[in-house]
Each structure stands twice: as structure tokens, then as C-alpha cells.
């Protein structure tokens, strides 16, 4: 896996190149190869003047061996400790070799890949758009356990290491990594990358890590003076949720900063093994690595060959239409945005985007994405207007969040080409695309929509038609549960805090304001069953004129600082009762999990992987669960707990 080559100048180049994989990972092959390479370096030390570590792949190093990590149990802890100690020992031998060692980072270096680079004395990154450096471990329920925490803290100091790198999970561009201290220089070409590495080796024959030099002091000082602030800040960032990985990263950083390097390495290893053998890391790796890889790899894409999109028409230049147009233009597609007037269309103007009010400007477009107001008749009208000028086989897509696709396709000349492409707001930030298949949608249309989604950088899940599809339907149960709690007499702050402590990114009442209570009222009007939440929504909109965030008043007031409206206490029924915090949190998690299971049973969800990924990326289901369906599967007694909730709060919690 590691090619060892020594030049006439005595510089050894170690080239990482796993023959069995498209990317280098910290697997058994790597571990054996690195040990052998370091052994040879020591054996030939007198002939070596320096070392360059680089890669033959498009990326530098992809990180840890996640499939192996996901299988770890508590019984594997001793073997894991031995393995991690060996990896760290080789890194330590490399950085104390007594010769300058340079990482020539020729592509992405994430997680374990960045840890390889940190074990070198100098890091030069190839400055290309695809290159990213960072520690995404926290997003998988893990911590950088091959020296990442120990070295980053010693290099940068406690606060910068935690906030910029370890707790954020950010993947930084080379220039940003340079600005934030983990990269020392940039190179424009691969040749320049290696030339710079050789030049630095010649100029720094006595290179050593900062912490191995006499007089080293931790940047920013020891953590004692600032220690009380760190857990408080982390708790604020987590919004009250208790998540093992961020807490373990903080503990590893703080504890390791107060002891010698070797002891800090042991502390780091022990914390990582605790995470690796726990359920939450397995949940997160399952969803955000395995399920994500399956979804993006086309698990739900029909196996048909289709043409690539070239020219996209977007109907409607509002926030969603403009976001969709910009995403398509950034992917190199030709984009035309149409609205009723040139002035309205101009709202979507940008590089690669033509704006117009003239239907003729859409001539020949092979994809049309409608993003107008959620009115079925209006949507049918705009399709009827543009169909005559489009390419004869153009993909016809509607960006609706709730309206059934089969109904919208009624009256369209080519219902087989009609499909739902539900983007999430804001389009530039939200990674999910929900592709909705109508009763007559063809496999070719599904494949074309999927390919377009991947082309513009989205993760596309494929679901069948139905009221609210998957994401809007399931998040509706979350909002109904929260608003129903108000009717029961649960204090509004308790509702919001319970959701945040369960791991949701925002409180449900705040989310309802963002969605708009007017829209919620319209959706409730067509619901098959009248719920207590619907009465509260009607009262908020009709009696109190509080339609949501866009109007500046909803469950929250927005006049100065955002705060819950004091009138919410009057929404409760007279016989209101206290509800334990554990029940509040479980009601949110279970009501969505139960409905997701119904979606899978009814065929709305085609795959469990789509449900797990869609729930995390699209509707904020807590990532620590591994997704809405995995939460149910891995719960120690899902059916029993569901029946408890049903007995206390209603039959909606009865497990199927």
C-alpha cells in the first residue's frame, strides 16, 4: 500500500496507494504497510535526509476504516486499544525520526487522513476546489483518535482547536486550513507540491514538532483559567442535548492538555474506544456513511439509461426558484428563469442564468422545474403555458412540498414525464432533494430527476406519491404533537426545551412559525382527522392574527428579541396536566418514528435508507438516532415504550 522510494538526494517519498480501494483508509493493509515503511526508514536512517508523505490517489487519505469501526463491540476494546496504540506509535516514530518529514497533501485529507498529515513536521496542500481538510468524526459520533485531538490542541491551543476543527466537523478549503493553522503552505500544481516539499526539507534539516522542542508551552496557556467556560459553551451549542461525541472531544482535549504527550495519547484512545463500542456511533455511522452511500449511489434509482440534462427552465423567481436556478447554474447547466414580468424574473439573475417573462425564451429546454405558489390550478396553468415550447421529451418537475403529484399531472399531455422534485429551503444550504413518483411517472423520469439531483450536489431520496409525501407528512406529526401539547397545558418553554434536549436542531413552535401557521392551517383543513393542534392553529391565525414569522408574530414575538408569546398560556384546556420531560422527548421521537414505519409499510417510502437519510437531512430528526427508522429498530423496547405512550397520550402511539 505504501511505495517507498529514495532519491539521490536522500529524500524518501512514501506514496500511499491502497491497491484494493479507490481511496486510502486506515485499514489493516495501511497499518501493516506504515509499520514496515517506518521500520525501513529507521534501518536506512544514515542514507535518509528527509521524508515526503503523499498519495497516488485523487485524494490524500479518506480517514478511518468505518466498516470495521461499525462492528466494534465492548469485547473488542482490548484489541482496539492495541491497534490504535500501534498506529500512534508509528506516527510518533515518524515525527521523532530526526529528519524533516513533510506531508504533500494532494487532495482531501479528512479524519485519519489529516491525522497522517499532522504527524509530519510541515504540511503543504494542493490548492484545488475539491481539496478539503477537516475532522468530520464528531458528525459520526466519534472523535479523531489517531492523535488528532492531541496534536491539534498542542499545535493551536485549546480554544482554536475545539471551535474551528474538533467540535465543528467542518471540512475546510486549503486556504482556510492555512489561515486556521493546520496547513503551512499551498501549491498550485502537483509538481509544485513536491518541489516545495523538497525545498523545505533542504532548508529545515533539524525539523521537530513544537511539543518536542525545549521550552514548549501550550498556545493560549493551560485550560485551568478558562475551564468553566468550555462545558457551558458546549452545552449552549448543543442546545441542551447530551451527545457523547462532543462531550468526549472536550474531555479528551482538556484532560490531554494537562499531561505529557504519551499520556494524552492514551486518554484520547480510551475516549475513542468508549464511543466506538457505543450504540450512538453505530447509529450515526449507519445513517451518515452506509445509508448515505447507498442513497447517493442510486439504491432507489431505476436501472435505465437516460440523457444528461443540458438546458433547465425554472418557473418562478421567488426564493425557491432562484435557489434552484443558482444550484443548476453552479453545476454548469444553462438556466432560464421565467416569471410574469421581467422585473420579477430578474430576482433570480446570476452567472449562467437568463431571466425572462417571454415563454419563447424557454424553447428547447429539456428540463422544467416549476416553483410557483402552492396552488394546484396555478401550477397546471404554468405547465400548460410552457409545454408547447419545451423539448418534446422534457422532464416536467414540480417543486411542491405537499400537493400530490398524481393530481398535479392530471391534464398534462405527458404524465409519464411528470415528477415531483421537492427542494428544501434555503436551497443553497439544504442537501436533500425529495423525488416524488406519481401514479404514471416513468422509470426514465425518475432516473433523470435523480441524475439531475446528483449533478447539482443534492442527496436524492425517492418516494411514492401520497399526502405530504414522506418528509412533509412526518414532520407534520412532529408539529402537531408539539402544538397539541400546548392544548394539553404543557408550558411552551418546556415543549421547546424538550425537543432541543432530544437533539432536534430547533424547537417545534419556532419551526411552525418559520413554516407559517397560515400554511399549517391550510394543510390541516384537508386532514382526514381533526386534531387538538388544529384548534390551536385556527385560534392563532383567525382569533389572534398571529400567522407566523413572515408576519412578525406567531408562537413567538419578533419585535425586539425573539421570545415566546405570552398569550400561549391561554391556549391550554382547563384540565391541563404536567408531563414528564422524558415523555415529552419520547413523544417527539416516537410519533415521527411510528409514522415513518407506516410510510414504509404503505409504500410511500421505497427503502429504509431513504427514510433514515431523509429524516436527518430534510426534517431535522436527531442525527444521534441514525435516522427515524433506525431509531425504532435499535431501541431496546420500542413497542413496549410506544404502548406506554399510547396509554398515557393516545392511540397514535400504538405500534403497528
Contact 604, 489 (CB under 8 A): no
The CA-atom distances, in angstroms, between 16 and each of 47, 62, 117, 551 are 22, 11, 12, 57
Burial-class residue 497 by CB neighbours within 10 Å (0-12, 13-18, 19+).
Answer: middle
How many CA within 13 A on the CB side of residue 240? 15
DSSP assignment letter at 59: S
User: Cα-flanking dihedrals φ and ψ of residue 69, to 5°?
Assistant: -60, -40
Angle (CA) 418 419 425, round 5°:
140
Pairing of strands 556-557, 367-370: unpaired
Q: Which residue has the cell 476494546?
A: 77
Q: d(Cα 205, Cα 49) in Å, to the nearest integer? A: 7
Q: Where would I find the H helices in 105-243?
A: 112-118, 148-156, 158-160, 174-179, 190-203, 229-237
Q: Which three cell numbers stand for residue 199?
A: 525545498
Which is nearest to 336 in space by CA: 319, 318, 352? Answer: 352
The separation between CA 473 and the C-alpha centre of its own chain, rounded to angstroms, equals 21
3-state secondary structure (DSSP) of residue 63? strand
Show which residues are catalytic: 115, 137
Contact 73, 85 (CB under 8 A): no
The separation between CA 631 and the C-alpha centre of its own chain, rounded to angstroms, equals 18
Q: d(Cα 53, Cα 393) in Å, to the nearest integer? A: 51
Amino acid at each position: 500500500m505504501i511505495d517507498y522510494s529514495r532519491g539521490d538526494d536522500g529524500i524518501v517519498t512514501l506514496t500511499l496507494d491502497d491497491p484494493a480501494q479507490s481511496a486510502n483508509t486506515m485499514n489493516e493493509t495501511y497499518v501493516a504497510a506504515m509499520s514496515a515503511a517506518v521500520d525501513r526508514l529507521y534501518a536506512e536512517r544514515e542514507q535518509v535526509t528527509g521524508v515526503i508523505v503523499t498519495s497516488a490517489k485523487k485524494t490524500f487519505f479518506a480517514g478511518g476504516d468505518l466498516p470495521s469501526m461499525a462492528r466494534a463491540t465492548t469485547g473488542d476494546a482490548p484489541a482496539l486499544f492495541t491497534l490504535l496504540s500501534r498506529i500512534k506509535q508509528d506516527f510518533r516514530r515518524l515525527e521523532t525520526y530526526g529528519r524533516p518529514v513533510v506531508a504533500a497533501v494532494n487532495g482531501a485529507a479528512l479524519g485519519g487522513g489529516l491525522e497522517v498529515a499532522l504527524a509530519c513536521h510541515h504540511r503543504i496542500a494542493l490548492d484545488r476546489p475539491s481539496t478539503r481538510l477537516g475532522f468530520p468524526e464528531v458528525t459520526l459520533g466519534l472523535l479523531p483518535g489517531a492523535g488528532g485531538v492531541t496534536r491539534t490542541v498542542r499545535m493551536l491551543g485549546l480554544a482554536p482547536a475545539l471551535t474551528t476543527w474538533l467540535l465543528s466537523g467542518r471540512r475546510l478549503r486549503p486556504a482556510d486550513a492555512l489561515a486556521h493553522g493546520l496547513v503551512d503552505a499551498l501549491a498550485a500544481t502537483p509538481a509544485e507540491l513536491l518541489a516545495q516539499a523538497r525545498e523545505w526539507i533542504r532548508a529545515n534539516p533539524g525539523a521537530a514538532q513544537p511539543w518536542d522542542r525545549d521550552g514548549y508551552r501550550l498556545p493560549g496557556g493551560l485550560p485551568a483559567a478558562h475551564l468553566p467556560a468550555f462545558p457551558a459553551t458546549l452545552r449552549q451549542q448543543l442546545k441542551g442535548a447530551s451527545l457523547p461525541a462532543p462531550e468526549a472531544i472536550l474531555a479528551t482535549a482538556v484532560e490531554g492538555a494537562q499531561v505529557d504527550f504519551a499520556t494524552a495519547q492514551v486518554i484520547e484512545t480510551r475516549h475513542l474506544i468508549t464511543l466506538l463500542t457505543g450504540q450512538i456511533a453505530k447509529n450515526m455511522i449507519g445513517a451518515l456513511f452506509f445509508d448515505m452511500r447507498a442513497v447517493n449511489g442510486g439504491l432507489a434509482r431505476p436501472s435505465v439509461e437516460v440523457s444528461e440534462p443540458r438546458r433547465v427552465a425554472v418557473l418562478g423567481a421567488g426564493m425557491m426558484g432562484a435557489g434552484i436556478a443558482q444550484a443548476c447554474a453552479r453545476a454548469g447547466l444553462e438556466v432560464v428563469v421565467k416569471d410574469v414580468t421581467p422585473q420579477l424574473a430578474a430576482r433570480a439573475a446570476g452567472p449562467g442564468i437568463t431571466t425572462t417573462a417571454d415563454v419563447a425564451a424557454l424553447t428547447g429546454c429539456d428540463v422544467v422545474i416549476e416553483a410557483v405558489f402552492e396552488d394546484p390550478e396555478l401550477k397546471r396553468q404554468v405547465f400548460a403555458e410552457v409545454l408547447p415550447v419545451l423539448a418534446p421529451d422534457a422532464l416536467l418537475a414540480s417543486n411542491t412540498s405537499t400537493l400530490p403529484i398524481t393530481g398535479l399531472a392530471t391534464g398534462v399531455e405527458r404524465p409519464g414525464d411528470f415528477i415531483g422534485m421537492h427542494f428544501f429551503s434555503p436551497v443553497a444550504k439544504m442537501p436533500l432533494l425529495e423525488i416524488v413518483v406519481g401514479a404514471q411517472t416513468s422509470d426514465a423520469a425518475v432516473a433523470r430527476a435523480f441524475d439531475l439531483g446528483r449533478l447539482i450536489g443534492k442527496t436524492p431520496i425517492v418516494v411514492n406519491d401520497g399526502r405530504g409525501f414522506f418528509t412533509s407528512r412526518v414532520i407534520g406529526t412532529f408539529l402537531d404533537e408539539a402544538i397539541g401539547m400546548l392544548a394539553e397545558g404543557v408550558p411552551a418553554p418546556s415543549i421547546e426545551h424538550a425537543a432541543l434536549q432530544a437533539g432536534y436542531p430547533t424547537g417545534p413552535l419556532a419551526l411552525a412559525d418559520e413554516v407559517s401557521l397560515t400554511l399549517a392551517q391550510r394543510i390541516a383543513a384537508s386532514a382526514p382527522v381533526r386534531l387538538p393542534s388544529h384548534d390551536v392553529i385556527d385560534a392563532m391565525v383567525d382569533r389572534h392574527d398571529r400567522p407566523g414569522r413572515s408576519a412578525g408574530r406567531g408562537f413567538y414575538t419578533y419585535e425586539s428579541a425573539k421570545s415566546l408569546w405570552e398569550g400561549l398560556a391561554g391556549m391550554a384546556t382547563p384540565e391541563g396536566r404536567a408531563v414528564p420531560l422524558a415523555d415529552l422527548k419520547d413523544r417527539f421521537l416516537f410519533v415521527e418514528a411510528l409514522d415513518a414505519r407506516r410510510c414504509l409499510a404503505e409504500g410511500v417510502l421505497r427503502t429504509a435508507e431513504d427514510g433514515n437519510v431523509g429524516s436527518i437531512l430534510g426534517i431535522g430528526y436527531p442525527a444521534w438516532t441514525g435516522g427515524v427508522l433506525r431509531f425504532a429498530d435499535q431501541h431496546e423496547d420500542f413497542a413496549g415504550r410506544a404502548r406506554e405512550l399510547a396509554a398515557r397520550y393516545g392511540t397514535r402511539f400504538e405500534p403497528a
